[in-house]
Amino acid sequence: MRVSVCVFILLLIASGLKAEDGSGLWLRNNFASPVNVVGSHKSTIFNVAKQELLNNWQGKENATINLLVKKDKRIIGDGFLLSSDKIQANTDLGILYGVFELLRQQQTHQTVSEKVYNPSYELRLLNHWDNLNSSVERGYAGKSIFWRTGENGLVVTENDKRIWTEYARANASIGINGAAINNVNASPDILRPDRLERVKAIADILRTYGLKLYISINFSSPKIVGGLSDSDPLNPEVINWWKEKVKEIYTLIPDFGGFLVKANSEGQPGPQDYGRTHVDGANMLADAVKPYGGIIMWRAFVYSSEEDDRAKQAYAEFVPFDGQFRENVIVQVKNGPIDFQPREPFNPLFGAMKKTAIMPELQITQEYFGHSTHLVYLAPMWEEFFHSDTHQEGTGSTVARCTDGSIFKHRTAIAGVANTGTDTNWCGHHFAQANWYAYGRMAWNNQLTSDQIADEWIKLTFNPETNVRVALPEDWSVNFLKPIKQVMLESYEASVNYMMPLGFHHIFQASHHYGPGPWWERDGVRKDWTMPYYHNADTIGVGFNRTITGSNAVAQYHEPLKSIYGNLETCPEEFLLWFHHVPWNHKMKNGNTLWDEICYRYDSGVKQVRQFQVVWDKAQPYVDAGRFDAVQRRLRTHAHDAQIWKDACLLYFQEFSRKPIPFDIERPIHNLDEIKKNDMDRP
The residues that touch ligand BDP, with contacts defined as CB under 6 A, are 137-138, 184-185, 262, 266, 301, 339-340, 367
Label each residue of 468-490 as H, E or C.
CCCCCCHHHHHHHHHHHHHHHHH
Residues sharing a CB contact under 8 Å with residue 494, sequence separation 6 or more, in sequence order: 376, 604, 605, 608, 609, 612, 642
Dist CA 349 CA 337 (whole Å): 8
**Residue (301 or 595) nearer to ligand BDP, CB:** 301
Asked if residue 188 has a cis previous peptide bond (ω within 30° of 0), the answer is no
Nearest approach in angstroms of CB 220 to ligand BDP is 16
**Residue (90 or 335) nearer to ligand BDP, CB:** 335
Angle formed by the axes of helices 158-173 and 193-206, to 10°? 50
Label each residue of 181-244 as H, E or C.
CCCCCCCHHHHCHHHHHHHHHHHHHHHHHCCEEEEEECCCHHHHCCCCCCCCCCCHHHHHHHHH
**Residue (301 or 369) nearer to ligand BDP, CB:** 301
Nearest CA-CA partner of 644 in 661, 668, 626: 668
Label each residue of 242-263 as H, E or C.
HHHHHHHHHHHCCCCCEEEECC
In the DSSP assignment, the letter for residue 562 is H
Dist CA 283 CA 326 (whole Å): 6
Dist CA 358 CA 352 (whole Å): 10
Nearest approach in angstroms of CB 516 to ligand BDP is 17
Nearest approach in angstroms of CB 367 to ligand BDP is 6
Catalytic center residues? 266, 339, 367
Task: Output the CA–CA distances (angstroms, integers) from residue 314 to 338, 429, 555, 569, in the order listed.
Answer: 9, 33, 14, 28
**Residue (146 or 369) nearer to ligand BDP, CB:** 369
Nearest approach in angstroms of CB 339 to ligand BDP is 5
Dist CA 149 CA 505 (whole Å): 37
Nearest approach in angstroms of CB 334 to ligand BDP is 7
Dist CA 509 CA 521 (whole Å): 9
Q: What is the dihedral of CA 542, 589, 572, 379, to 10 degrees?
A: 100
- For 180, phi and psi rounded to 5 degrees? -100, 120
- Strands 63-69 vs 86-89: parallel, antiparallel or unpaired: parallel
**Residue (58 or 218) nearer to ligand BDP, CB:** 218
**Residue (173 or 183) nearer to ligand BDP, CB:** 183
Dist CA 617 CA 636 (whole Å): 11
Nearest approach in angstroms of CB 428 to ligand BDP is 17
Count the residues in the chain: 683
Q: Report the residue closest to ligand BDP, judged by CB.
A: 339
Nearest approach in angstroms of CB 135 to ligand BDP is 12
**Helix, strand, or coil here: 63?**
strand
CB-hemisphere CA count at 13 Å for 45?
A: 25
Residues sharing a CB contact under 8 Å with residue 339, sequence separation 6 or more, in sequence order: 301, 368, 506
Terminal-residue alpha carbon distance, the chain: 33
Dist CA 123 CA 540 (whole Å): 48
Asked if residues 349 and 318 have their Cβ atoms less than 8 Å apart, the reply is yes
Nearest approach in angstroms of CB 267 to ligand BDP is 10
Nearest approach in angstroms of CB 361 to ligand BDP is 8
**Helix, strand, or coil here: 502?**
helix
Nearest approach in angstroms of CB 299 to ligand BDP is 7
**Continuous segment of H or E residues that includes residue 101:** helix 92-107
Nearest approach in angstroms of CB 185 to ligand BDP is 5
